[in-house]
Amino acid sequence: MSLKTLFLSLLAVLFIHGSSGANILAVFSCPSASHLIVEMSMAKVLAENGHNVTVITSLKPHVTHKNLNLIYVPLTEEERKAYEASIAGMAERDNSDLIAAVFRMRKELLAMFNKSRDVMKDPRVKDLYENKDNKFDLVMVGYFFNSFQIGIAQKLKVPVVLVTSMFQSDLFNPMLGDIQTEAYVPTMGISLEQGQSMSFGQRLTNYIFLNVFKLFMYLMEKDNANYYEELYGNDLSMPKYEDLNKNVSLVLFNSHGLSEGPIRPNFPGAIEVGGIQIKEKPDPLPKPIADFLQNATDGAILLSLGSNLKGAYLKPDTVQKMFNVLSKLKQKVIWKWENLDKTPGKSDNILYSKWLPQDDILAHPKIKLFINHAGRGGITESQFHGKPMLSLPVFGDQPANADKMVKDGFGLSMSLLTLEEKPFHDNIKEVLENPQYTEKVKAFSQLFRDRPLTARQSVLYWIEYVLRHHGAAHLQSPLVHMSFIAANNLDIYALLICIVVISLLIAKTVIKYSYEKITKKSKRATTVKNPKKVKSK
Q: Which residues bind ligand NAG (CB under 6 A)?
A: 18, 23, 52, 54, 69, 110-111, 114, 134, 154, 157-159, 239, 243, 247, 291-292, 295, 471
Cβ 243 to ligand NAG shortest distance, Å: 4
User: Smaller CB distance to ligand NAG: residue 115 or 387?
Assistant: 115
Closer Cβ to ligand NAG, 24 or 38, answer by number:
24
**Residue 113: CB minimum distance to ligand NAG, A:** 7
Nearest to 409 by CA among 424, 395, 430: 430
Q: Whole-angstrom Cα distance, residue 349 to residue 326?
A: 8
Question: Least distance in Å: CB of 135 to ligand NAG?
Answer: 8
For the CA atoms of the chain, what is the radius of gyration? Answer: 31
CB of 191 to ligand NAG, least distance (A): 32
Closer to ligand NAG by CB, 192 or 219: give it.
Answer: 219
* Neighbouring C-beta atoms of residue 478, cutoff 10 Å: 9
Nearer to ligand NAG, 97 or 243 (CB): 243
Task: Specify the DSSP element, H or E, that contains 367.
Answer: strand 367-372
Burial 348-384 (b: 16+ CB within 10 A, else e): ebbbbbeebbbbbbbbbebbbbbbbbbbbbbbbbbbb
- Residue 496 CB, shortest distance to ligand NAG, in Å, is 34
Nearest to 389 by CA among 351, 432, 327: 432
CB of 282 to ligand NAG, least distance (A): 20
Q: Which of 239/282 has CB closer to ligand NAG? A: 239
Closest approach of ligand NAG to the CB of residue 483, in Å: 16
Q: What letters, b where the CB count within 10 A reaches 16 and e where it falls short, cover 103-134?
A: ebbeebbeebbebbbbbbebeebeebbeeeee
- Whole-angstrom distance, CA of residue 462 vs CA of residue 465: 5
Q: Least CB distance from residue 230 to ligand NAG, whole Å?
A: 8
What is the biggest distance separating any 2 CA atoms in the chain, rounded to whole angstroms?
140
Q: Smallest distance from the beta carbon of 493 to ligand NAG, in angstroms?
A: 30
Q: List beta partners, residue 142.
A: 163
**Eight-state DSSP code of residue 233:** T
331 or 391: CB nearest ligand NAG: 331
d(CA 471, CA 137): 10
Q: How far is the CB of 64 from ligand NAG (least distance, A)?
A: 15
Query: Could you give the CA distance from residue 33 to residue 345 in angstroms, rounded to a whole number?
Result: 28
In angstroms, what is the minimal distance from the CB of 247 to ligand NAG? 4
Q: Which is nearer to ligand NAG, 25 or 188 (CB)?
A: 25
Closer to ligand NAG by Cβ: residue 162 or 392: 162
Nearer to ligand NAG, 128 or 322 (CB): 128
Of the pair 293, 392, the CB lying nearest ligand NAG is at 293
Q: In terms of CB distance, is 354 or 512 closer to ligand NAG?
A: 354
Decide: 253 and 167 in contact? Cβ < 8 Å: yes
In angstroms, give the least distance from the CB of 432 to ligand NAG.
21
35 by Cβ neighbours in 10 Å (0-12 / 13-18 / 19+) ranks as buried
Q: Of all helices (H) and strands (E), which one includes residue 250?
A: strand 250-253
Q: Nearest CA to 71 among 127, 20, 110?
A: 127
Closest to ligand NAG by CB, 125 or 441: 125
- The full 3-state SS of 410-476, as one line of letters, equals CEEECCCCCCCHHHHHHHHHHHHHCCHHHHHHHHHHHHHHCCCCCHHHHHHHHHHHHHHHCCCHHHC
CB 61 within 8 A of CB 70: yes
Quick one: which H or E segment has residue 304?
Answer: strand 300-304
Per the DSSP assignment, residues forming a β-bridge with 272 are 253
Query: Looking at beta carbons only, is 329 or 441 nearer to ligand NAG?
Result: 329
Rounded CA separation 229/233 (Å): 4
CA–CA separation, 320 and 327 (whole Å):
10
Q: How far is the CB of 271 from ligand NAG (least distance, A)?
A: 17
User: CA-to-CA distance for 460 and 483, rounded, in angstroms?
Assistant: 34
Q: How many helices (H) and strands (E) does the chain have?
A: 19, 13
